[in-house]
């Protein structure tokens, strides 16, 4: 007789709810810790994109004004 791989879900829904809550807490903790390390990189990249966009707009306005 084959056993369904997730048959315990039908037996104990409270157990699975606790597992889901713990896994979401784990994911949230991971993202908080990762953001501390990634934030300087993200800010640097956004700053570069912003600078490039400002330069493009300035070039466009300079050409349009001539």
66 residues of the chain, pLDDT tens digit each: 455 555 555 555 555 666 767 777 777 877 777 777 778 888 888 899 999 999 999 998 888 776
Total domain count, the chain: 1
- Asked if residue 49 belongs to a domain, the reply is yes
Domain around 43: 38-66
The pLDDT value given to residue 12: 56
Residue 66 inside a domain? The answer is yes
For residue 45, give Cα distances in angstroms to 30, 33, 36, 52, 53: 22, 19, 15, 11, 12
Please enumerate in sequence order all residues whose Cβ is within 8 A of that of 16, keeping only pairs 6 or more positions apart, or say none: 8, 9
What is the rounded distance in angstroms from the CA atom of residue 59 to the CA atom of residue 33?
40
């Amino acid at each position: 007789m084959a056993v369904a791989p997730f048959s315990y879900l039908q037996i104990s829904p409270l157990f699975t709810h606790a597992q889901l809550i713990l896994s979401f807490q784990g994911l949230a903790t991971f993202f908080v810790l990762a953001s501390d390390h990634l934030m300087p990189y993200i800010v640097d990249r956004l700053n570069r994109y912003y600078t490039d966009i400002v330069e493009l707009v300035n070039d466009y306005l300079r050409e349009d004004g001539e």
